[in-house]
Protein backbone atom coordinates (compact mmCIF):
# COMPACT_ATOMS: atom_id res chain seq x y z
CA UNK A 1 0.00 0.00 0.00
CA UNK A 2 1.32 3.44 -0.91
CA UNK A 3 0.33 6.45 1.14
CA UNK A 4 0.89 9.62 -0.91
CA UNK A 5 0.74 12.93 0.94
CA UNK A 6 -1.03 14.81 -1.85
CA UNK A 7 -1.48 17.92 0.26
CA UNK A 8 0.58 18.82 3.33
CA UNK A 9 -0.65 22.39 3.71
CA UNK A 10 -3.18 23.98 6.01
CA UNK A 11 -5.65 26.84 5.62
CA UNK A 12 -2.62 29.17 5.35
CA UNK A 13 -1.84 29.58 1.63
CA UNK A 14 1.53 28.12 0.67
CA UNK A 15 3.11 28.06 -2.78
CA UNK A 16 4.54 24.59 -2.22
CA UNK A 17 1.88 22.85 -0.18
CA UNK A 18 -1.58 21.99 -1.43
CA UNK A 19 -4.41 21.84 1.09
CA UNK A 20 -4.85 18.72 3.22
CA UNK A 21 -5.42 15.45 1.41
CA UNK A 22 -3.84 12.01 1.30
CA UNK A 23 -4.09 9.45 -1.48
CA UNK A 24 -3.95 5.75 -0.62
CA UNK A 25 -3.07 3.34 -3.40
CA UNK A 26 -3.82 -0.24 -2.46
CA UNK A 27 -2.96 -2.08 -5.63
CA UNK A 28 -5.35 -0.64 -8.20
CA UNK A 29 -7.70 0.68 -5.56
CA UNK A 30 -7.19 4.42 -5.12
CA UNK A 31 -8.81 6.06 -2.10
CA UNK A 32 -8.58 9.77 -1.35
CA UNK A 33 -8.81 11.04 2.22
CA UNK A 34 -9.97 14.67 2.29
CA UNK A 35 -9.90 17.04 -0.66
CA UNK A 36 -8.09 20.26 0.17
CA UNK A 37 -6.90 23.03 -2.12
CA UNK A 38 -5.20 21.79 -5.29
CA UNK A 39 -5.96 18.12 -4.71
CA UNK A 40 -6.67 17.20 -8.33
CA UNK A 41 -3.40 18.78 -9.49
CA UNK A 42 -1.48 16.83 -6.86
CA UNK A 43 -3.33 13.60 -7.76
CA UNK A 44 -2.06 14.05 -11.29
CA UNK A 45 1.43 14.35 -9.80
CA UNK A 46 0.83 11.08 -7.98
CA UNK A 47 -0.15 9.24 -11.18
CA UNK A 48 -3.79 9.21 -10.23
CA UNK A 49 -6.91 11.10 -11.27
CA UNK A 50 -10.42 11.46 -9.85
CA UNK A 51 -11.66 8.94 -12.42
CA UNK A 52 -9.48 6.28 -10.77
CA UNK A 53 -10.94 6.81 -7.31
CA UNK A 54 -12.78 3.94 -5.67
CA UNK A 55 -13.81 6.26 -2.85
CA UNK A 56 -13.31 9.62 -1.22
CA UNK A 57 -13.23 9.63 2.57
CA UNK A 58 -13.89 12.87 4.43
CA UNK A 59 -12.71 13.43 8.00
CA UNK A 60 -14.67 16.63 8.63
CA UNK A 61 -16.24 19.53 6.84
CA UNK A 62 -13.71 22.27 7.63
CA UNK A 63 -13.15 24.14 4.37
CA UNK A 64 -9.43 23.39 4.13
CA UNK A 65 -10.27 19.64 3.98
CA UNK A 66 -13.12 19.82 1.47
CA UNK A 67 -12.75 23.01 -0.58
CA UNK A 68 -11.61 21.14 -3.71
CA UNK A 69 -14.20 18.36 -3.53
CA UNK A 70 -16.11 20.22 -6.25
CA UNK A 71 -13.09 19.78 -8.54
CA UNK A 72 -12.95 16.05 -7.71
CA UNK A 73 -16.68 15.74 -8.49
CA UNK A 74 -16.53 17.66 -11.78
CA UNK A 75 -13.31 16.07 -13.03
CA UNK A 76 -14.57 12.59 -12.12
CA UNK A 77 -17.86 13.28 -13.91
CA UNK A 78 -16.27 14.59 -17.10
CA UNK A 79 -13.46 12.03 -17.28
CA UNK A 80 -15.80 9.08 -16.73
CA UNK A 81 -18.30 10.66 -19.15
CA UNK A 82 -20.90 10.48 -16.43
CA UNK A 83 -20.87 6.68 -16.49
CA UNK A 84 -19.40 6.04 -13.04
CA UNK A 85 -20.82 7.01 -9.69
CA UNK A 86 -18.39 8.70 -7.29
CA UNK A 87 -18.45 7.15 -3.82
CA UNK A 88 -18.01 9.56 -0.93
CA UNK A 89 -17.90 8.57 2.74
CA UNK A 90 -17.90 11.06 5.57
CA UNK A 91 -19.45 12.15 8.83
CA UNK A 92 -23.07 13.20 9.17
CA UNK A 93 -23.51 16.41 7.17
CA UNK A 94 -21.49 15.17 4.19
CA UNK A 95 -24.58 14.37 2.10
CA UNK A 96 -25.92 17.90 2.46
CA UNK A 97 -22.49 19.36 1.73
CA UNK A 98 -22.21 17.33 -1.49
CA UNK A 99 -25.76 18.21 -2.50
CA UNK A 100 -24.94 21.89 -2.10
CA UNK A 101 -21.69 21.51 -4.06
CA UNK A 102 -23.64 20.03 -6.94
CA UNK A 103 -26.18 22.82 -6.60
CA UNK A 104 -23.38 25.39 -6.87
CA UNK A 105 -22.11 23.61 -9.99
CA UNK A 106 -25.49 23.72 -11.73
CA UNK A 107 -24.53 26.34 -14.37
CA UNK A 108 -21.45 24.30 -15.37
CA UNK A 109 -23.41 21.06 -15.34
CA UNK A 110 -25.98 22.64 -17.62
CA UNK A 111 -23.37 23.96 -20.06
CA UNK A 112 -21.61 20.62 -20.34
CA UNK A 113 -24.76 18.56 -20.77
CA UNK A 114 -25.91 20.99 -23.47
CA UNK A 115 -22.52 20.87 -25.24
CA UNK A 116 -21.53 17.18 -24.98
CA UNK A 117 -23.96 14.56 -26.28
CA UNK A 118 -22.19 11.94 -24.17
CA UNK A 119 -23.10 13.70 -20.94
CA UNK A 120 -26.78 13.26 -20.28
CA UNK A 121 -27.14 13.67 -16.52
CA UNK A 122 -25.54 15.58 -13.64
CA UNK A 123 -22.68 14.02 -11.63
CA UNK A 124 -23.81 11.01 -9.66
CA UNK A 125 -22.31 11.02 -6.21
CA UNK A 126 -23.25 8.33 -3.74
CA UNK A 127 -22.69 9.60 -0.20
CA UNK A 128 -22.52 7.26 2.76
CA UNK A 129 -22.64 9.02 6.09
CA UNK A 130 -20.70 7.25 8.82
CA UNK A 131 -20.97 6.99 12.56
CA UNK A 132 -17.85 6.40 14.65
CA UNK A 133 -17.20 2.67 14.87
CA UNK A 134 -18.62 1.92 11.42
CA UNK A 135 -16.55 -0.37 9.23
CA UNK A 136 -16.85 -1.14 5.54
CA UNK A 137 -14.80 -2.25 2.57
CA UNK A 138 -13.79 -0.48 -0.62
CA UNK A 139 -12.49 -3.03 -3.11
CA UNK A 140 -10.28 -5.24 -0.97
CA UNK A 141 -9.43 -2.46 1.48
CA UNK A 142 -10.99 -2.76 4.94
CA UNK A 143 -11.81 0.55 6.55
CA UNK A 144 -12.72 1.27 10.15
CA UNK A 145 -13.72 4.57 11.69
CA UNK A 146 -13.54 6.15 15.11
CA UNK A 147 -14.54 9.48 16.60
CA UNK A 148 -11.86 12.13 16.75
CA UNK A 149 -11.88 15.30 18.88
CA UNK A 150 -11.78 18.65 17.08
CA UNK A 151 -14.44 20.50 19.05
CA UNK A 152 -16.34 22.72 18.26
CA UNK A 153 -16.18 20.99 14.87
CA UNK A 154 -18.59 18.08 15.09
CA UNK A 155 -18.87 15.38 14.00
CA UNK A 156 -15.31 14.42 13.02
CA UNK A 157 -14.02 10.96 12.24
CA UNK A 158 -10.71 9.27 11.48
CA UNK A 159 -9.98 6.21 9.37
CA UNK A 160 -7.84 3.11 9.46
CA UNK A 161 -7.26 1.39 6.14
CA UNK A 162 -6.01 -2.19 5.93
CA UNK A 163 -4.90 -4.03 2.84
CA UNK A 164 -2.77 -7.11 2.35
CA UNK A 165 -1.50 -7.06 5.94
CA UNK A 166 -0.58 -3.35 5.86
CA UNK A 167 -2.40 -0.71 7.89
CA UNK A 168 -2.55 3.08 7.84
CA UNK A 169 -4.29 5.46 10.25
CA UNK A 170 -5.40 8.75 8.69
CA UNK A 171 -7.16 10.75 11.30
CA UNK A 172 -7.47 14.39 10.21
CA UNK A 173 -7.52 17.29 12.65
CA UNK A 174 -7.83 16.15 16.26
CA UNK A 175 -6.38 16.41 19.70
CA UNK A 176 -5.17 13.14 21.22
CA UNK A 177 -8.13 10.92 22.11
CA UNK A 178 -9.18 7.30 22.49
CA UNK A 179 -10.43 7.13 18.89
CA UNK A 180 -7.04 8.08 17.46
CA UNK A 181 -5.28 5.61 19.76
CA UNK A 182 -7.57 2.87 18.51
CA UNK A 183 -7.06 3.71 14.83
CA UNK A 184 -3.28 4.03 15.18
CA UNK A 185 -2.79 0.90 17.29
CA UNK A 186 0.09 -1.05 15.76
CA UNK A 187 -0.41 0.71 12.43
CA UNK A 188 2.37 0.63 9.86
CA UNK A 189 1.92 4.35 9.49
CA UNK A 190 0.00 6.94 11.46
CA UNK A 191 -0.53 10.20 9.57
CA UNK A 192 -1.34 13.15 11.80
CA UNK A 193 -2.11 16.80 11.09
CA UNK A 194 -0.03 18.88 13.48
CA UNK A 195 0.85 22.30 14.77
CA UNK A 196 3.88 23.54 16.70
CA UNK A 197 2.49 24.95 19.93
CA UNK A 198 5.75 26.69 20.90
CA UNK A 199 5.83 28.65 17.62
CA UNK A 200 2.10 29.31 17.33
CA UNK A 201 2.06 30.75 20.85
CA UNK A 202 4.49 33.45 19.71
CA UNK A 203 2.29 34.65 16.84
CA UNK A 204 0.38 37.75 17.99
CA UNK A 205 -2.87 37.01 16.23
CA UNK A 206 -6.06 36.00 18.03
CA UNK A 207 -7.37 33.76 15.23
CA UNK A 208 -4.05 31.90 15.07
CA UNK A 209 -4.11 31.45 18.85
CA UNK A 210 -7.57 29.87 18.51
CA UNK A 211 -6.10 26.85 16.69
CA UNK A 212 -4.17 25.74 19.77
CA UNK A 213 -7.10 24.06 21.49
CA UNK A 214 -8.23 21.67 18.74
CA UNK A 215 -5.11 20.33 17.02
CA UNK A 216 -2.44 17.83 17.95
CA UNK A 217 0.97 19.32 18.50
CA UNK A 218 4.08 17.59 17.19
CA UNK A 219 4.66 16.29 20.71
CA UNK A 220 1.04 15.10 21.02
CA UNK A 221 1.38 13.19 17.75
CA UNK A 222 4.65 11.61 18.86
CA UNK A 223 3.15 10.56 22.19
CA UNK A 224 0.10 9.10 20.45
CA UNK A 225 2.33 7.19 18.02
CA UNK A 226 4.33 5.82 20.93
CA UNK A 227 1.30 4.90 23.04
CA UNK A 228 -0.40 3.23 20.07
CA UNK A 229 2.73 1.38 18.98
CA UNK A 230 2.59 2.77 15.43
CA UNK A 231 5.58 1.82 13.26
CA UNK A 232 5.90 5.21 11.55
CA UNK A 233 4.64 8.70 12.23
CA UNK A 234 4.03 11.02 9.28
CA UNK A 235 3.44 14.70 10.02
CA UNK A 236 1.27 16.71 7.67
CA UNK A 237 -0.83 19.94 7.65
CA UNK A 238 2.00 21.54 9.63
CA UNK A 239 1.34 24.96 11.13
CA UNK A 240 3.42 26.94 10.63
CA UNK A 241 4.83 25.06 7.64
CA UNK A 242 8.54 24.36 8.17
CA UNK A 243 11.24 24.96 5.59
CA UNK A 244 13.41 21.92 4.79
CA UNK A 245 16.20 23.38 6.97
CA UNK A 246 13.79 23.23 9.91
CA UNK A 247 12.80 19.58 9.40
CA UNK A 248 15.55 18.16 11.66
CA UNK A 249 14.33 20.31 14.54
CA UNK A 250 10.72 19.17 14.03
CA UNK A 251 11.86 15.55 13.89
CA UNK A 252 14.03 15.94 16.98
CA UNK A 253 11.09 17.33 18.92
CA UNK A 254 8.98 14.28 18.02
CA UNK A 255 11.86 11.87 18.59
CA UNK A 256 12.02 12.94 22.24
CA UNK A 257 8.71 11.10 22.66
CA UNK A 258 8.71 8.39 20.00
CA UNK A 259 11.24 5.79 18.86
CA UNK A 260 9.76 4.87 15.48
CA UNK A 261 10.45 6.41 12.08
CA UNK A 262 9.32 10.04 11.77
CA UNK A 263 8.46 11.42 8.34
CA UNK A 264 7.98 15.11 7.59
CA UNK A 265 5.60 15.40 4.72
CA UNK A 266 6.30 17.31 1.54
CA UNK A 267 3.63 17.27 -1.13
CA UNK A 268 3.86 13.92 -2.96
CA UNK A 269 5.97 12.28 -0.25
CA UNK A 270 5.11 8.60 -0.62
CA UNK A 271 5.21 6.09 2.22
CA UNK A 272 5.25 2.48 1.04
CA UNK A 273 4.07 -0.04 3.62
ZN1 LIG B 1 -10.21 21.10 10.93
ZN1 LIG C 1 -7.37 21.43 8.89
Task: Give per-residue pLDDT as tens, 124-161.
Answer: 999 999 999 999 999 999 999 999 999 999 999 999 99
Enumerate residues 6+ apart whose C-beta is below 8 A from 4.
Answer: 22, 23, 24, 25, 46, 48, 268, 269, 270, 271
CA of 114 to the centre of ligand 1 (A): 38
CA of 9 to the centre of ligand 2 (A): 9
Dihedrals phi, psi of 63, to nearest 5 degrees:
-60, -35
- Report whether 254 contacts 219 (CB < 8 A): yes
Mean pLDDT of 209-221: 95
pTM: 0.98
CA of 187 to the centre of ligand 2 (A): 22
Dihedrals phi, psi of 123, to nearest 5 degrees:
-55, 135
| Fold of the domain built from segment(s) 2-272 | Metallo-beta-lactamase; Chain A (3.60.15)
Ligand with minimal distance to 150 CA: 1
Ligand with minimal distance to 151 CA: 1
Ligand with minimal distance to 214 CA: 1
Distance CA 265, CA 250 (A): 11
Mean pLDDT of 230-256: 97
Vertex 179: Cα angle to 92 and 101 (nearest 5): 25
- Report whether 57 contacts 143 (CB < 8 A): yes
What pLDDT shows up at residue 256?
A: 98
- Report whether 78 contacts 112 (CB < 8 A): yes
Distance CA 3, CA 265 (A): 11
What pLDDT shows up at residue 137?
A: 98
Q: What is the Cβ-side half-sphere exposure of residue 117, based on CA atoms within 13 angstroms?
A: 0
Known active-site residue 220: no
Choosing from 14, 34, 47, 64, which is the catalytic residue? 64
Mean pLDDT of 172-188: 98
| Of the listed ranges 104-118, 182-196, 198-212, the one predicted with least confidence | 198-212
Residue 12's pLDDT band, with cuts at 50, 70 and 90, is very high
Enclosing H/E stretch for 261: strand 261-264
CA of 125 to the centre of ligand 2 (A): 24
| Of 22, 14, 12, the residue nearest 273 (C-alpha) | 22
Amino acid sequence: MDIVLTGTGSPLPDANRAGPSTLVKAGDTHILVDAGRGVVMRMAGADSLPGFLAAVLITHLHSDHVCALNDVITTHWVMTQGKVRLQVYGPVGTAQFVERQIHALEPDIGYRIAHHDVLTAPPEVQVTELEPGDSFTVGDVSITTAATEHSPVKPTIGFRLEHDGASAALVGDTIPCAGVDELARGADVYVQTVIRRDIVEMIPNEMIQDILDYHSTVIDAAQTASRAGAQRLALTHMVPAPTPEQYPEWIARAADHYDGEIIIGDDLTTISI
